[in-house]
Amino acid sequence: MSLLVVGLSHRSAPVSVLERASLAADTQAKLLQDTLAAEPATEAAVLATCNRIELYADVDKFHAGVAELSTLLAQHSGVGLDELTPYLYVHYEDRAVHHLFSVACGLDSMVVGEGQILGQIKDALARGQELHTAGRLLNDLFQQALRVGKRAHSETGIDRAGQSLVTFGLQQLAAGADPGLWARGKRALVIGAGSMSSLAAATLARTGVAEIVVANRTRSRADRLVEILQQGDDTTVRAHAVEMSAVGDELTRADVVVSCTGSTGLVLTADALADALGVTLDAPAEAPAVTAIPAPADVDQHAAWVENGSATSAPEAPRRITLPAQSTGPVKLALLDLAMPRDIDGAAHRIDGVRLVDIESLADASADAPMAADVDQVRTIVADEVAAFGAAQRAAHVAPTVVALRTMAADVVAGEIARLDGRLPDLDEKQRAEITQTVRRVVDKLLHAPTVRVKQLASEPGGAGYADALRELFDLDPQTVAAVSRADLNDPNRGRS
């Protein structure tokens, strides 16, 4: 079996495609289950973040695996295979390991060196374990990726290059000013209470905002986030929670809005934002107002759709907002949209007094971000860890064969001692024990050199064939070897950190 990853990220696909291909939690679970049901795969894990969707699998056929995983990604993302295929990348065996280790270290992140990806990898592993789709290979791989990521952050200065997406987003909102000075005294509205929203709220509190309002569909989660904020020793921020229905009123009082929900539609429409800022709305008499505008694939298309007040996919024409070509004058409302798909209408950047930073603009800004000198050191760590992981996996591949060989030898010894008992029934216990020990020593000495050597050879590139040779030379039953592998896989202490 061999490791295969098929995916797309901010490096291979435009944000508009990533947005449409995003996977909700229940969709990820179904994708994993369907991947295991597919013939080429025996294990599966999915890593889905705001800027990447990757499906990992242990497959027995490369080409069939690529075709199956690509098809499954298309089916569950809702993006047609023909449209999705140009943006997909494929990594196999050691290259797949190298890719995940690089991701874990933040080398492949939108903001190089950011550490939040480690939590997302941990979540991906936990999901695979919970659904029993992650077996020995993926458990080992993801556990090691977490260790490699932690090592990179502890042994190098990659943290100086990296920062959270939230921090980078706030820097973009500050437009060159010191984020602490820019945020001081402001009133922030955080929409959502998941991991990214919690990070945003904590970052805002440390940055120096005066007040944070948290809105979430599940009020108890918003209350819990507020409680955590108020317990922080390093901030004195005022915080309280509101229902989602109160977001419209809170917009009129907010200076900064950060949104990251799991919604599949817009949370803040251009209408709502314009109303909060008192922008004049021009509503045609024949067209009733609507409260939400579906988000099409492209931001410019979306903005044009809002301005023109019509769309072939909409049964009703929305109100048309008379907006300038771009925001001018002082910023009255700063918007940071970290959701995928987006929470905030892409046309918001055309509202006078609004500054919008979203995943797409962050991707553009990060392309010019300076790389830290420590990145080369991290790359060296990744290369070393990939080599070590490959050697360990190859050695592990031969281990069941060695165990099966020694088990067969023990059975031969036991059989010969039993036959000896029948021929020499008058042997006393001491004599019998001495003969038994002598035979075992002979067998152990004969097997010691070949079993040690085969483990050494198996750890080298191309060494997997030595296990096959050992099975062939000693006529080992493949089912016996497989049984040893299954016993190891079912060990309840395996894959726990």
Catalytic residues: 50
Angle (nearest 5°) at CA 173 between 169 and 176: 105
Q: Is 224 exposed, middle or buried (0-12, 13-18, 19+ CB in 10 A)?
A: middle
Phi, psi for residue 7 in degrees, rounded to 5? -165, -175
CB within 8 Å of 137: residues ≥ 6 apart: 1, 3, 43, 58, 393
Two structure tokens written together for 443:
């067998």
| CA distances for 55 relative to 35, 93, 120, 123, 425, angstroms | 9, 14, 14, 14, 63
DSSP string, 355-386: EEEEHHHHHHHHTTPPPPTHHHHHHHHHHHHH
CB 312 within 8 A of CB 229: no
Q: For residues 230 and 235, give the distance between their C-alpha atoms in angstroms, rounded to a whole number.
A: 8
Q: What's the CA gap between 175 and 193, in Å, rounded?
A: 26
Residue 2: phi and psi, rounded to 5, are -140, 150
The distance from CA 217 to its chain's CA centroid, rounded to whole angstroms, is 24
- For the chain, the residue count is 497
Exposed / middle / buried, residue 73 (Cβ in 10 Å: 0-12, 13-18, 19+): buried
Is residue 476 within 8 Å of residue 408, measured between CB atoms?
yes
Using alpha carbons, select from 162, 351, 163, 338 the residue that is nearest to residue 272. Answer: 351
Rounded-to-integer distance, Cα 92 and Cα 4, Å: 5
Residue 497's Cβ-side half-sphere holds a number of Cα atoms within 13 Å equal to 13
